[in-house]
Structure 1
Amino acid sequence: MEESRRLPRSILFLCGMNAIRSPMAEALARYILPADTFVTSAGVRAGDPDPFVEAVLQEIGLTLGERHPHEWDELEDAYFDLIITLAPEAHHAALELTRTSAVDVEYWPTADPSGITGTRDRVLDAYRDVRDRLESHIIRRFTAGAPD
C-alpha cells in the first residue's frame, strides 16, 4: 500500500459543531473502515443533534444511535494519527492545537447543508449530497486501489 493509502489506526473528524458533517463522516468511516480503526468526531464547539443527519444515514442503513455532539476539549484521548477537518474554523483549530505534535491534518472542505431552505425534499437533498461526497472521499482516501 502506498504511503498516502496507509490506513491510520485512529482518525478524528473535526468540524464546527459536531452536529452534521463530522458525525456523518464518523458513521460512514466506521462502516467502511476495518473495525480495528478507531474513528470518532468532535466539533470546535458543541452543537445540537440534527435530525436530517439521522434521516439521510438511515436511508443507507446507518444510524448515529444515541450519540450526541461533543467538543474537541471533551475527548478522553486527544492523540490521533490523522485529523480530518471539514470546515475552515476546524482546520485552523486543528493546526493550532497540533503544531507541536506529530499528527497529520487533512482538510476536506465540506459544505454545511444547514443553511439550505425550502421544502423538506430540497433540504434532504443537500444533506444527501454531503453524505455522498463524504462517503466517496472516505473510500477514495482509505481504500487501496481506489482511483484518486
Structure 2
Amino acid sequence: MKQIYFLCTGNSCRSQMAEGFARQLLGTGWQVASAGIETHGVNPLAVQVMQEVGVDMSAQTSKLIDSNYLNRCNLVVTLCGDARDRCPVTPSRVRRLHWPLPDPAQATGTTAERLAAFRTVRDQIKQNVTALVRELGDAACQ
C-alpha cells in the first residue's frame, strides 16, 4: 500500500487538516498519516473548522515523526518551513513536496477572527490536497 505523510511543527493544525482531507479524498489505496517535529496536541479550532466541511478529525492525535513510517513513504508533504528544514533525511525514492502555509494557531484576535484564519488555511489545504489527488490519479493512469 502506498504511504503519504503530512508534516508540520507541532502536528496540531495544518498537518492534521491535510491528513483529514487526504483520508477522505485518497481512498483505500493510500495509508495516510501526519506528524510533527514536536507534539502540541490537536487544536480544537482545527477540529471545529474541519467539521464545518464534513471531515471528522476528533479521533486524530498529535504525533512525533516516526522514522520507520517516514522511510517507507512514497510521498512526504511538509506544510511549514520548520518541518521542511528539520525533517529527517529520507531515501532518495521518497518524493517530497513543500506547501508553505501560515500557522493558524498563531492567529490573534477574537474567536471569530481566529476561526477565519483557520478557515483560510483549511481551504488552501483542501485545494492543495485535491490537486495532489488529481495528480496522483493521473500518474497512476499513465
Q: Where does residue 17 of structure 1 map in the other structure?
A: 10
Q: Deviations over 1:94-125 (max 9, x none)?
A: 3x421x44211111101101121111111101
Q: How does 1:76-115 map to 2 (within 5 A)?
A: 77-78=69-70, 79-94=72-87, 96-98=88-90, 100-115=91-106
In the alignment, structure 1 residue 140 sits paired with structure 2 residue 131: yes
Q: Where does residue 118 of structure 1 map in the other structure?
A: 109
After TM superposition, the runs of 4+ consecutive aligned structure 1 residues lying more than 4 A away are none
Report the alpha carbon displacement of residue 76 of structure 1 after superposing the two structures with TM. Answer: 5.6
Identity %: 32
Q: Where does residue 57 of structure 1 map in the other structure?
A: 50
TM-score for the superposition, normalised by structure 2: 0.87
Report the alpha carbon displacement of residue 132 of structure 1 after superposing the two structures with TM. Answer: 0.4
Report the alpha carbon displacement of residue 65 of structure 1 after superposing the two structures with TM. Answer: 2.4
Is the Cα–Cα contact under 8 Å of residues 16 and 42 in structure 2 kept in the other structure? no
TM-score for the superposition, normalised by structure 1: 0.84
Secondary structure at the aligned position of 2:34 is classed as strand
Secondary structure at the aligned position of 1:11 is classed as strand
| Distance (Å, rounded) in 2 between the aligned partners of 1:107 and 1:10 | 16
Which amino acid in structure 2 is aligned with residue 33 of structure 1? L
Which amino acid in structure 1 is aligned with residue 127 of structure 2? S
| Distance (Å, rounded) in 2 between the aligned partners of 1:54 and 1:65 | 6
Count of residue pairs brought into register by the alignment: 136
Q: Which runs of 5+ in 2 are unaligned?
A: none
| Distance (Å, rounded) in 2 between the aligned partners of 1:77 and 1:49 | 20
Report the alpha carbon displacement of residue 93 of structure 1 after superposing the two structures with TM. Answer: 2.4
The Cα RMSD (Å) is 2.0
